Amino acid sequence: MKHIVFASVFLVALNLYSQDKFENHNVSFDCGISRNKSKAVLHMEQLMVEKDFDAIRSNLQSKQTAKQFLAIVILEILNNKNHIQLDSIEQDRINRLKQSGSIIFTCSGCVYQEVNQFEGIFSSDNNHFLLKSAKEWAYKKLNNN
């Protein structure tokens, strides 16, 4: 009986850990039947609405890869539009993140989830579906504010 209780507690804890890890590293613009956005997307949208570019910059240092990814996309757009100027430290951090094996998850419906690495998303062809989606999302949100 002790073993069953221990195994049950262990499995519940593992599930909660996995779910938390997914939440912190998930980038979704249109997930599930209800077409929800991930927590990271909602968080970054709020920062864009508030034009809190310093907070967006700080997400380059986040432990949550979803926020790092979105910060890179947003900051590069803002830099290209001359709304901000990235300093050499930020640019170096962005370049290192882009070449890293950091992982983010994407949700493309109720049952389909994909695991992506930064180095694959930001490869030289820049044709990755997640990068395209993130850029479209960011341009739309930035132009509406």
Does residue 3 have a pLDDT over 50?
no
The predicted pLDDT at position 32 comes to 56
H or E stretch covering 17: helix 2-24
Pairing of strands 103-107, 113-117: antiparallel
Name the token pair of 121. Answer: 């998303």
What phi and psi, each to the nearest 5 degrees, are found at residue 7? -60, -40
pLDDT band at 112 (very low <50, low <70, confident <90, very high): low
Q: What percent of the chain has pLDDT over 70?
A: 73
- Arithmetic mean of pLDDT, 104-125: 77
The C-alpha atoms of residue 107 and residue 109 are separated, in whole angstroms, by: 6
Q: Which domain holds residue 52?
A: 2-143
Q: 115 has which bridge partners?
A: 105
Considering its fold, how many domains does the chain have in total? Answer: 1
Does residue 52 have a pLDDT over 90?
yes
* Residues in contact with 58: Cβ distance below 8 Å, sequence separation at least 6, in sequence order: none
Listed residue (28, 30, 34, 55) closest to 44, CA to CA: 55
* pTM more than 0.75: yes
The C-alpha atoms of residue 25 and residue 64 are separated, in whole angstroms, by: 6
